[in-house]
Amino acid sequence: MSNDPAAELPFYYGSISRSEAEQHLKLAGMADGLFLLRQCIRSLGGYVLSVVWNLEFHHYSIEKKLNGTYCIAGGKSHCGPAELCEFYSKDPDGLVCMLRKPCLRLPDTPIRPGVFDSLRENMLREYVKQTWNLEGEAMEQAIISQAPQLEKLIATTAHEKMPWYHGKIARQEGERRLYSGVQPDGKFLVRDREESGTFALSMIYGKTVYHYRILQDKSGKCFMPEGTKFDTIWQLVEYLKMKPDGLVTVLGEACVNGKVAEKTPSLPATRRTGANGYTPPPRAVAAASNPATTVPADREVLPMDSSAFNPYHNPNEVRKFNIQRTQLLIDEVELGSGNFGCVKKGVLKTDSGQIDVAVKVLKNDNEKLVKEEMMREAEIMHQLSNPFIVRMLGLCKAENLMLVMEMASAGPLNKFLSTNKDNVTVENIVNLMHQVSMGMKYLEEKNFVHRDLAARNVLLVNQQFAKISDFGLSKALGADDNYYKARTAGKWPLKWYAPECINFHKFSSKSDVWSFGITMWEAFSYGGKPYKKMKGPEVMRFIEGGSRMECPAACPEQMYTLMKECWTYKHEERPDFKAVEESMRSYHYSVSKKAKPEGSAAAAAEPVE
Ligand code: ADP
Ligand code: MG
């Protein structure tokens, strides 16, 4: 598991059995104090410490307590498995001996993932697939960009997709369902208890149905009385399939809820976006088409809730290069304007419905150069397909030349942040900038340089969903080139440009990384203007002199460190987007995990019903 705090330890083996642990210790020589750490299958998040003393094996369970600390029964609490092992290597404190020599994992022995690690991963995929109708690359991107948010979501709603989950039914109805058909021992279902909003487990054993109340503590963890605590009901169910943990027997086959099994809710391929570009979360749709699904508590909107997310929906339908004028309704509302003309709001009619679009209308299209410029922009956009890049839907040649794009109705990032300072958290900005790094990593892989990455060219679909736009200056690099050489300098956004762009007219993905750093600075200063009142040439002197912008007030230290790395003078030493995305991702995951509310004390255990 990627977030297993023991994953870094060279003497940690993951989910291996007791006898396998003993085998490793034997092979390593059975010296006194030889030890290793493994995952505990009984308690989620717990470990077992296996130690050799006097040619014998001793196994100590390490429990993860609700407050997130670890301890061996009767011993002191420690903040992590590493700290715990370090402590016992100085003081036996009740163990048979001190930990003396780590039994190191050999290079050909990877950490074995536990049953829940792979289950959780599969569950996440299944959930994304079912809920948003995503597949392939779009699904991978969705998972990478929103893993922490999805894990939280799954923790509370995953059971709704399980065949054994029957929703809110009476105890008697549960019995009726279990008694119908074959009645093998262990056949079970989970239902909502009518009055209290908690869950109950009903299972058949010796032709009799038994009911158990599933308890939940304040932090939402589920457990049987005095049993192991789990983050989710489905993990508890998986565990009870292996260990009875107080039940009359282990769980066997699921008593299948016909409603869930016959049709899992999926969404139509194209959904009409609301007036403000916001598509209601899919739960509303799911609840309507499947009364057995309960509506989960309100949550933040995710990128995947938007109809704009999936770049692979109806690719042939939508990615027409030439759009008929009759298919296009253009609003008078202007979204933005520039030298070329203006961007207007519109609606594109397709066979499978209507899509909100943004239409870039060329003003002077009798000018050949301007026209060619827009054709080049369209040519570039046509080759790109990524959730974090504004998708072009086509060109329409009518009264004007028009570039039709998917709509990002919440507008440019800098404007959005400066007008919504109070409602946007730092985590929110981290999430958005991580998405931008994913889009840029994609461009880098495809060998395109953007050349105008800035907060004004990052558009928002909604508060949680960013897309890179404005490919007016972009270039596709040749297969053997890693930079583009501009013959003459143009009207350039100097404050966003790396030294090699200004000095040698050389543009590469590495110079886009520099611009990404400036964009980060703009984002973390809530749409502030970089380099204040300085003019282009002053900025150049400032940079050449080794100075860099200061850390914005609300910006986390780690994010400022990354910005400064993006502003490495020599492009050879600057990180690429692969590295930038990795840093953004790990920081995004770490802050989103911390934001998860954790109750401290367990609720008093209730008796079994
Ligand atoms: P320019 O080359 O003049 O910067 P842009 O492509 O950045 O042109 O578009 C100008 C403005 O139009 C943007 O700042 C934004 O406000 C609006 N705009 C452009 N594309 C879209 C879109 N896909 N969705 C919503 N608004 C857009
Ligand atoms: Mg622009």
Helical ranges in 184-325 per DSSP H:
233-242, 258-262, 283-289, 315-318
Question: Would you please indicate which residues are annotated as catalytic (active-site) residues?
Answer: 452
- Per-residue model confidence (pLDDT) at position 271: 31
CATH class of 18-102: alpha beta
Phi, psi angles (nearest 5°) of residue 256 = -75, 130
Mean pLDDT, rounded, for 101-128: 86
CATH number listed for the domain at residues 158-271: 3.30.505.10
Contacts of 350 (CB under 8 A, 6+ apart): 270, 314, 317, 318, 327
Mean pLDDT, rounded, for 222-229: 85
- Per-residue model confidence (pLDDT) at position 285: 33
In tens, the pLDDT along 441-450 reads 999 999 999 9
Query: What is the distance between the alpha carbons of residues 547 and 238, in angstroms, rounded to a whole number?
Result: 56
Pick the closest to residue 402 from 384, 377, 380, 383 (CA basis): 377
315-406: which CATH topology?
Phosphorylase Kinase; domain 1 (3.30.200)
- Per-residue model confidence (pLDDT) at position 26: 97
CA atoms within 13 A on the CB side of 133: 23
Mean residue pLDDT of the chain comes to 86
Cα 455 to middle of ligand 2, angstroms: 9
Given pLDDT bands bounded at 50, 70 and 90, which one contains residue 211?
very high
Domain 117-155, CATH 1.10.930.10 — does that match? yes
* Residues by chain with Cβ below 5 Å of ion ligand 2: 457, 470
Mean pLDDT, rounded, for 152-174: 87
Pick the closest to residue 303 from 438, 404, 405, 136 (CA basis): 438
- Per-residue model confidence (pLDDT) at position 44: 64
Given pLDDT bands bounded at 50, 70 and 90, which one contains residue 42?
low
CA 416 to chain centre: 22
| Ligand 1, pocket residues at CB < 6 Å | 335-336, 338, 340, 343, 358, 390, 405, 407-408, 411-412, 456-457, 459, 469-470, 472
Query: Same CATH fold, 315-406 and 158-271?
Result: no
| Ligand 1 atom at minimum distance from 472 CA | 2
Pick the closest to residue 213 from 246, 164, 173 (CA basis): 246
- Per-residue model confidence (pLDDT) at position 111: 93
Q: What percent of the chain has pLDDT over 90?
A: 62
- CA of 560: how far to CAs of 18, 372, 555, in Å? 46, 40, 7
Facing residues of 47 across strands? Answer: 39, 62
Query: Hey, which of 47-61, 153-167, 209-223 has the most confident mean pLDDT?
Result: 47-61
pTM of the model as a whole: 0.75
The helix (run of H) or strand (run of E) holding residue 84 is: helix 81-88
CA 18 to chain centre: 35
Q: What is the DSSP letter of 254?
A: B
Mean pLDDT, rounded, for 509-528: 98
Indicate whether 423 pLDDT > 50: yes
| Ligand 1 atom at minimum distance from 456 CA | 14
The helix (run of H) or strand (run of E) holding residue 210 is: strand 208-216
Given pLDDT bands bounded at 50, 70 and 90, which one contains residue 593?
low
| Ligand 1 atom at minimum distance from 409 CA | 25
CATH class of 411-591: mainly alpha
CA of 373, nearest ligand number:
1
Q: How many CB atoms lie within 10 A of CB 226?
A: 9
- Per-residue model confidence (pLDDT) at position 118: 75
All structural domains of the chain with their residue ranges: 18-102, 117-155, 158-271, 315-406, 411-591
